[in-house]
């Protein structure tokens, strides 16, 4: 697990790479499914959630990137401090994980379809032949 320390000056430090990083780096870790934790440099408290919320907040401020509509946010807020809070949290997490799995499977199917396309197979054969020709071709004297 990668440990990121957050200092009082708001700088983030990746202890595994021994270098300062930014929020874009954290987004990259997320996109690459890297496991990480953000800790406060003084207290060693886990502040990962607050940093993730910061990333979401910044992303949501751009309407073209927004995932959370006003209606959705209102509905989520209604479930705070209710008996259903734990159930909603588990339901949302499981639903999103299931959605991601289906998305990954669909991407795999589409990639296989594209790879199986006769034109792609023909292009790959031509590329391999050209590669072989270029590596065996002798220069003229």
Return the structure tokens found at 66.
């927004």
Give the pLDDT of residue 136: 66
The widest CA-to-CA distance across the chain, in whole angstroms, is 85
pLDDT in tens, 79-91: 999 999 999 999 9
Q: Domain coordinates of the chain in residue numbers?
A: 1-67, 70-136
Cα(90)–Cα(7) distance, integer angstroms: 32
Q: What is the mean pLDDT of each run of 10 residues along the chain (141 residues)?
A: 94 95 95 95 96 92 82 92 93 92 85 70 76 67 52
Burial class of residue 54, CB neighbours in 10 A (0-12, 13-18, 19+) = middle
């Amino acid at each position: 697990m990668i440990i990121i320390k957050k200092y009082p000056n708001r700088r983030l430090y990746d202890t595994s790479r021994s270098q300062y990083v930014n929020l874009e780096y954290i987004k990259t870790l997320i996109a690459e499914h890297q496991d990480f934790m953000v800790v406060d440099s003084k207290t060693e408290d886990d502040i990962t959630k607050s940093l993730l919320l910061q990333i979401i907040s910044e992303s949501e401020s751009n309407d073209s990137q927004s995932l959370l509509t006003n209606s959705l946010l209102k509905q989520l807020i209604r479930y705070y401090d209710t008996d259903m809070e734990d159930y909603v949290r588990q339901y949302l997490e499981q639903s999103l994980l299931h959605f991601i799995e289906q998305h990954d499977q669909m991407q795999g199917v589409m990639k296989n379809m594209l790879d199986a396309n006769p034109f792609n197979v023909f292009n790959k054969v031509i590329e391999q032949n050209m590669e072989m020709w270029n590596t065996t071709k002798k220069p003229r004297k």
